[in-house]
Structure 1
Amino acid sequence: MLVPVLAVLVTGVTGFWQRTGDGTLEYGFPLPWKTSQIVPTCASCSLPTSYNWVFFLIDAVFYAAIGYGIISLYTRTIWKQKDHLTDPGKAAMP
């Protein structure tokens, strides 16, 4: 339950990661899920921000996969260490 929540939070934080496009400001990493358009004649006049919820979901799944991968690697490492500690002769066998 914690990994999906953290994935959504990380995705939300990447909404502050700015990339400039053709007259637009795109936010989000790796996919830009938040877009603001700028009127070229007026630097302070911006159009409403649009959100691409499909890209947001894909980003959240991306970060959740990274989180589950880290947990999986950590768990395997701990199990191997625990198995090695409980049966030291097992490590010497091919």
Structure 2
Amino acid sequence: MEPLRKALIVGAVRGVGAGVGSALFVLVTPGEQQKQAILKEIPEQDPQRRDEAARTKQLLLATLQEAAATQENVAWRKNWMSGGGGGRSA
């Protein structure tokens, strides 16, 4: 009888814990309006930021293509931003 009682108590405690966890999850999860507000504030929503990210990706790709086309270790250059077509001009 004692093991059954102990199993019921353990099950009840787990059930209460799951209920409290679910209630906290529901309370903390943002609503639809709050989700939309958060999405509007994401930096990638700004057109200028998107253009900057695209330009950065283009520069990175150009640098990788240059590194792949040469036997030189471009990481050991003194001024690795210049040379070839992969660097930014100041």
Give TM-score, length-normalised by structure 1: 0.31
Which of the pair is proportionally richer in strand? 1
Q: Normalising to structure 2: TM-score of the pair?
A: 0.32
Select the structure of larger CA radius of gyration. Answer: 2
Larger RCO (CA within 8 A; separation ≥ 6) = 1
